[in-house]
Amino acid sequence: MEDSVRPAPVIAIVGAGPAGFYTAEALLQAVPECHVHLFERAAAPHGLVRYGVAPDHQKLKQVAAIFDGIAEHERLHLHTGVDIGHDLSLDELRARSHAIVLTNGAALGRGLGVAGESLPQVFSSASFVGWYNGHADHVGLAPNMAVDSAVVVGNGNVALDVCRLLVRAFDDLAVSDIPQPMLERFRTRRIREVHLLGRGSPGGMKFSFKEFRQLVDLPNVQIRLPQAAEFAETLWDEAASPDAGRILQWLRSDQQKAVDASNGKLIVNLWFNVSPMAFVGDETLREVRVRSTSGGEFAIPCGIAVSCVGFACRRIAGVAGYDAAGHMRHRAGQVLGDDGADMTGLFVAGWAKRGPSGIIGTNRACGYETAATLVAALPALMEKGTSLADDFGALLRSRGIASFGHADWRLLDAHEKAQGAALGKPREKLLSMREAQTTLAALGAP
């Protein structure tokens, strides 16, 4: 085939979060004639920024404006509300594109593997964070917040986010983008004490110092170290990272202060070298049984528990290449099969590629690396035939799948912000595909 009649490259990206948008940006720059189709399972784009970043971290969410700028590109075609593996199969994507990039993140919470995890009021971070951020998969969670004590398992930033939102003043939450139904649940809180359980030593904390200070600087919160009397003096100098060192310095100074038990503050207890043995209760959670590395065991009474111990990928039907941790085997973004060989035309970026690590900006370098690997492979991939670049929209319409493009999202985005402004908050999120469809119809969208 002559170059003059060779079709333009068609690339499908599965997942419209940070990794998806940054990968698309890199491809649009590197391959001037390519068409990129960006598929998203949820009704709205932006992935982790919309559904993972804490509602009281609005500055971090401003990066969504960069993604919307990328989506304006004439050769980028956004399709939200499309579940790849269900609405469209992987084989159908292969037949209509020269390459596929999986950027669908790691949206499933990992379990602890202990008794009682299925009890009511025991949640994974994926479901609890998804709930207070208004993700359609989790809006029906309905946790009972009218409990006295909570347990959060984990010593990373997600655990700190959960802990902070459990104790933060309601007036602060009311001006965030927590959707109103979830905000009303927070209004019912009776929590007086939170126990943050870390399986590692104090020096092995994964918190960033910035996140830690956001918790300890809350005026209604007091930090306690129940094990402080057991700490050896050398422990305060055993930090695995600069952030952990700064946190240890703060804790060392703070734990020497007199504790005023009558000041009415909410208590956050930091526990180290402990692991949950079981979540205990009859019809609902009553306590968490804990074992320390020294062999001691004790129980913490609580009415709600959130386990923040990691995430795994939601596997897409027809995709091989997942490792035991639920992420993709790859070489610089090229997906590898069980035998270690390249899976032709299949690439990966973001959390599905490297696990739940880094900050939002980390996905840019990650996406650009994958794009470079894809571009190098593109001449060989172009040897196969493909359908027209606009064929996806026609296929979805033929199946009655109501996907949204970027113009639709701009209308929905403006509507959410207007609804939020009326409530004194950044936005009021639409919580389902049906709500989004109804809203677009009311706005007169074609």
Residue 263 in tokens? 């000041």
Rounded to an integer, what is the distance from CA 187 to the centroid of its chain? 24
Q: Is 359 annotated as a binding residue?
A: yes
Q: Tell me how far apart the alpha carbons of residues 235 and 201 are, in angstroms, rounded to a whole number.
A: 9
Q: Is 351 annotated as a binding residue?
A: yes
Q: Do strands 285-292 and 297-301 pair parallel, antiparallel, or not at all (unpaired)?
A: antiparallel
User: 247 near 207, Cβ under 8 Å?
Assistant: yes
Q: Is 191 annotated as a binding residue?
A: no
Query: Rg (Cα) of the chain, in Å, rounded?
Result: 24
Find the distance separating the first CA and the last CA of the chain, reported in whole Å: 39
Helix (H) or strand (E) holding 235: none
Q: Is 155 annotated as a binding residue?
A: yes
Q: Tell me how far apart the alpha carbons of residues 197 and 356 are, in angstroms, rounded to a whole number.
A: 20
Q: Is 157 annotated as a binding residue?
A: yes
Beta-strand runs (E) in 256-378: 266-271, 274-281, 285-292, 297-301, 304-307, 311-312, 330-331, 334-336, 342-348
Q: Is 158 annotated as a binding residue?
A: yes
Q: Tell me how far apart the alpha carbons of residues 347 and 338 are, in angstroms, rounded to a whole number.
A: 15
Q: Is 48 annotated as a binding residue?
A: yes
Q: Is 84 annotated as a binding residue?
A: yes
Q: Tell me how far apart the alpha carbons of residues 185 and 209 are, in angstroms, rounded to a whole number.
A: 29
Residue 163 φ then ψ, to 5°: -60, -45
Q: Is 263 annotated as a binding residue?
A: no
Helix (H) or strand (E) holding 79: strand 76-80
User: 367 near 103, Cβ under 8 Å?
Assistant: yes
Q: In degrees, to the nearest 5, what angle opens at C-alpha 309 toward C-alphas 305 and 312? A: 120
User: 47 near 64, Cβ under 8 Å?
Assistant: no
User: 168 near 218, Cβ under 8 Å?
Assistant: yes
User: 77 near 37, Cβ under 8 Å?
Assistant: yes
Q: Residue 53: how many CB atoms within 10 A of its CB?
A: 22
The DSSP result for 263-278, as a single string, is S-PEEEEEE-SEEEEE
Q: Is 360 annotated as a binding residue?
A: yes
Task: Output the furthest CA–CA distance in the chain (Å, rounded).
Answer: 82
Q: Which residues are annotated as a binding site?
A: 19, 40, 48, 84, 155-158, 211, 351, 358-360
Binding residues for FAD: 19, 40, 48, 84, 351, 358-360
| Binding residue positions for NADP(+) | 155-158, 211, 358
